[in-house]
Amino acid sequence: MNGIVVRKASPADAAGIVAVLETVAAERIYSAIDTVWTVQQEARYLASLSPREAFHVAAGPDGLIAGFQSLDLWSSILPSMSHVGQVGTFLLPDWRGRGIGRLLWRDTLDFAKDAGYRKLAIQVRASNTVAQAFYSALGFKECGRLTRQVIVDGIEDDEILMELFV
Ligand SMILES: CC(C)(COP(=O)(O)OP(=O)(O)OC[C@H]1O[C@@H](n2cnc3c(N)ncnc32)[C@H](O)[C@@H]1OP(=O)(O)O)[C@@H](O)C(=O)NCCC(=O)NCCS
């Protein structure tokens, strides 16, 4: 769609990923992420991912990173939760509502199946009803709420927990 290609990210994509996160963090309303790593920190993080973890990026023909979807282990230390992954999705404003989230999800879900996950979980700000609609459309079900879990610019928000059995 529109020359967008989804591919697994490498540390070389750190600048593009940080640019997306900086934009979303500056919007202040969509994510609990209110401060963003440097490009160097992000590159180190991408290089440190285990074989069962991946970021997928949606890249335009000019190489612009329009957005990305992350898949991390829910817990990097508990073998009892090694079957659970956590997902995050972030797009630049101009690229939202154009099917890119679904495109990213196709690759993330394939990767999650190959990596042996049995369930995926996400935390979404309660005020972010668009993201809840997005994850519901992918098959996630709401399964809990952490009350007053986020404070950004002095404004409290809950976090909605959603899960999907792979
Ligand atoms: C949430 C987000 C990742 C969704 O990605 P997207 O590419 O815009 O979503 P898609 O176009 O692939 O839409 C997939 C489905 O999600 C739902 N959806 C997407 N945007 C929606 C909106 N504005 N209102 C209601 N439902 C919406 C629809 O069911 C849609 O399916 P459809 O096109 O068949 O109707 C994207 O809007 C975004 O990056 N938002 C800002 C950052 C953010 O909130 N990230 C989540 C933090 S937890």
The pair of structure tokens assigned to 120 is 């995926």
- Domain 5-165 has what CATH class? alpha beta
Global pTM value: 0.97
Instruction: Please give the Cα distance from 143 to 148 (Å, whole number).
Output: 17
Closest CA to ligand 1's atom 5: 101
Does the beta carbon of 104 sit less than 6 angstroms from any atom of ligand 1? no
Q: Residue ranges of the domains in the chain?
A: 5-165
pLDDT in tens, 11-67: 999 999 999 999 999 999 899 999 999 999 999 999 999 999 999 999 998 889 999
